[in-house]
Amino acid sequence: MQRFSMGIPVEKEKNIAFLIKCVKMNLKILLEVFLMPYVISDECIACGACAGECPVGAISEGDGKYVIDPDTCISCGACAGVCPVGAPQEG
């Protein structure tokens, strides 16, 4: 005999998979809203300390200052922690 919950068949494996998808979607949305990638201000002296500290390699040398790839940045703040002039800031 099939069990129902709120008119929907109860299939444990499918329901668990559905819940996991919901959690992942909501987590992605929360990360996009609350974790803004860092940006490097014009205070940058191009010393490269931030690039060496970034755990995901999101920082590269740009034109006169270093730049952060917003799609790669995980907002960990490691770059800001080593910068001697405080150029990396939350975007």
Domain residue ranges of the chain, discontinuous segments joined by + = 4-34, 38-90
Please give the model's pTM, rounded to 2 decimal places: 0.63
Contact 44, 65 (CB under 8 A): yes
Q: How many CB atoms lie within 10 A of CB 87?
A: 22
> Over 28-67, what HEC string results?
HHHHHHHCCCEEECCCCCCCCHHHHHCCCCCEEECCCCEE
Residue with tokens 């975007």: 91
Q: How many CB atoms lie within 10 A of CB 21?
A: 10
Tens of pLDDT, residue by residue over 4-51, are 555 555 666 777 777 787 777 777 776 666 667 899 999 999 999 999
CA distance linking residue 52 with residue 84, whole number of Å: 13
Tens of pLDDT, residue by residue over 55-73, are 999 999 999 999 999 989 9
Q: Is the pLDDT of residue 80 over 60?
A: yes
Query: Percent of the chain, pLDDT > 70?
Result: 78
Given CATH 3.40.50.10790, say whether it is the number of domain 38-90: no
